[in-house]
Amino acid sequence: MDFIYCKEIELSETLALNLLELSDKFMISNLREKCEEYLTSNLKPENLYDIAKVAERFDRLPLLESILQFGQEFLSRTEKSDSNLYSIISETIQSLEKKCVQKSINLEKLSQS
């Protein structure tokens, strides 16, 4: 509620993920943007998968694009044999790439209608 009146909020990863869902449900765009900005600026290899799941569930294309960029940069500078994390991120990125392409195609079709 404080955010609605003051437009300020202190976020954590968990709070941002939860509020992203609520901001989507109640169409509070400025809160959604703050959550997306926080999550984008706090992306780490360890949280990429969880943030990607939420971004995908709510069709947050800008956040998905940030996740893709971060993941691709991580993969380009990490040895394949470094960890299981490499495999998880690689699979997540491949899946997101396909979905982002499909969403872009669908948006193009809508704009042409």
Per-residue CA distances from 38 to 10, 19, 25, 46 (Å): 10, 11, 19, 16
How confident is the model at residue 109, as a pLDDT?
A: 62
Inform me whether the pLDDT recorded for 4 exceeds 70. no
User: What is the dihedral angle through the alpha carbons of 77, 51, 104, 78, rounded to the nearest 10 degrees?
Assistant: 10
pTM: 0.80
**pLDDT, tens digit, for every residue of 81-112?**
667 888 888 998 888 888 777 776 665 665 66
**pLDDT, tens digit, for every residue of 14-54?**
999 999 999 989 999 999 999 999 999 999 999 999 999 99
